[in-house]
A = this chain, B = another copy of it.
Amino acid sequence: MKTIKLGLIGLGTVGGGTLAILRDSADLLQQRVNANIEVSIIAVRDLNKPRAVDTGSIQLTDDPTQVVNHPDVDIVVELMGGTGLARELVLRAIDNGKHVVTANKALLAEHGDEVFAAAEKQGVQVAYEAAAAGGIPIIKALREGLSANNIDWVAGIINGTGNYILTEMKQPGADFNAVLKRAQELGYAEADPTFDVEGIDAAHKLTILASLAFGIPLQFEKVYTEGISRISADDMRFADMLGYEIKHLGIARRTDDGVSMRVHPTLIPKSVLLANVSGVMNAVMTHGDHVGPTLYYGPGAGAGPTASAVVADIVDVVRALDCAPDARVPALGFRTTRDLPVMDMEAVQCAAYLRFLAKDAPGVLARFSTVLAEQGISIEHMHQEPCDDGSGDALVVLITNEVPESAMNTAIAALEALPEIDGTVQRIRIESLS
């Protein structure tokens, strides 16, 4: 039986989890592939740091170039993260003829085209199941399981921190900042939560999912991104009353005008399975022209789930080591990328939930309906309740029809300019996911 040698870069949460599976499940892995899988070398940041995982006799180094240049290493497993040094190391590994397994969503979202092109040129594999939605095998599902379909859209809860916060905010009156603080105490959110809460992490993953769905190049810079920090207890209450859940979704949709890619808080009907995904769990829903809707649910982070995806990739890469490159699954599932335009957000069509304070007086409804009508926006549902703060204002909630973002932006600016409207207009987009 042949022996396949791995070099790991990074021994944090995911690296430690990967090492643990390779060691604890060695029997299982031998039943999966006709080879011994061994770790030859691991690059760590600090050689003196105490570690929870036993590295045994494996060579440790604090110079990651030793891993990518190591003559014995067949597969480099990049688990360090980031887009600077990680990019250099991955490209060097590929250049040295090594296959790569990575969990690095930022690297692929920002430099995926370069990485995949280099791998194709060298005839090596780059596997990245852990780079989106952690333990859920969504990369494989989109790339292989649904390969007979033209994908119409993908919509996912792909950041567990954000979903935990929105789930907790369903408690009556719960406030974003208080919930975020609790999430930080529980270790579900980082001290600086920007990356998760403002949607950057989700945008990285969405970039990858969109490229898999539509066969387009990786274009992180074209993802419209909006975070969840402006969602209020009122929004949670109204959404519930109107039959919706608020979820922070990454959405990629193909239309006749091009592909839209966006991350934003979204009202989705409670009747849709995705609306029932709560806490830190992730789920990705997609619609294919033949299969219709399918959904994939599971843990999106953590040592075990992420390492589960990393090791599944290792198994796939080991199996296909001796195959001709043409016989392997292409990195994005397509032999060549497709040149589909990515729509500017201004052109994307969405229905919306609008919430604002308006003077509770005759004629006010007519004023804001007129402003909306001027942009071709009709009100499909309206709810109004008097404020009990003695202001004489009413809290108004509207559900609109589907209109281009540009029209909605113009209408919102016009609404905010009305003397009868007090303060800003909250807008949350709506997706029926049907």
Contacts and interface: CB of A to CB of B under 8 A. Distances in A.
A74 to B, nearest CB: 14
Contacts of A347: none
B34 A335 contact: yes
Nearest to A32: B147
Interface string A278-316: 000001000011111111111100001101111110111
Nearest to A338: B31
A173 to B, nearest CB: 22
A144 interface: yes
B308 A298 contact: no
Contacts of A321: 327
Interface stretch (A38-46, A53-61, A116-124, A133-141): A133-141
A277 interface: yes
B304 A290 contact: yes
Interface stretch (A4-12, A21-29, A236-244, A372-380): A21-29
Given A323-B323, A329-B319, A294 B296 contact: yes
A186 interface: no
A307 B148 contact: yes
Given A137-B141, A297-B273, A304 B319 contact: no
- Chain A contact residues: over half helix, strand or loop, or mixed? mixed
Contacts of A418: none
Interface string A328-355: 1100011110100000000000000000
Nearest to A311: B148
Given A150-B25, A273-B273, A328-B319, A144 B294 contact: no
Counting chain B CB atoms within 10 Å of each CB, the highest count among A29, A288, A290, A338 belongs to A290
A276 interface: yes
Given A299-B292, A323-B320, A31 B148 contact: no
A371 to B, nearest CB: 39
Contacts of A52: none
A273 B278 CA distance: 9
Contacts of A360: none
Given A277-B273, A307-B290, A140 B148 contact: no
A183 B5 CA distance: 56
Given A141-B145, A319-B328, A308 B288 contact: yes
B21 A315 contact: no
Nearest to A328: B319
Nearest to A149: B308
A404 B245 CA distance: 41
A324 interface: yes
Interface in A142-178: 144-150
A326 interface: yes
A389 interface: no
A192 interface: no
B137 A315 contact: no
A217 interface: no
A250 interface: no
A122 B253 CA distance: 44
Given A146-B312, A307-B148, A135 B32 contact: no
A388 interface: no
A292 B135 contact: yes
A322 interface: yes
Contacts of A31: 215, 334-336, 338
A173 B295 CA distance: 31
The 8 closest A-B pairs by CB, nearest first: A137-B145, A294-B298, A148-B311, A135-B291, A291-B308, A295-B297, A290-B304, A290-B308
Given A141-B145, A273-B277, 18 more contacts: A17-B290, A21-B290, A25-B150, A28-B149, A31-B215, A32-B147, A34-B335, A144-B315, A146-B312, A147-B312, A147-B315, A148-B314, A149-B308, A290-B308, A290-B311, A291-B308, A295-B297, A323-B323
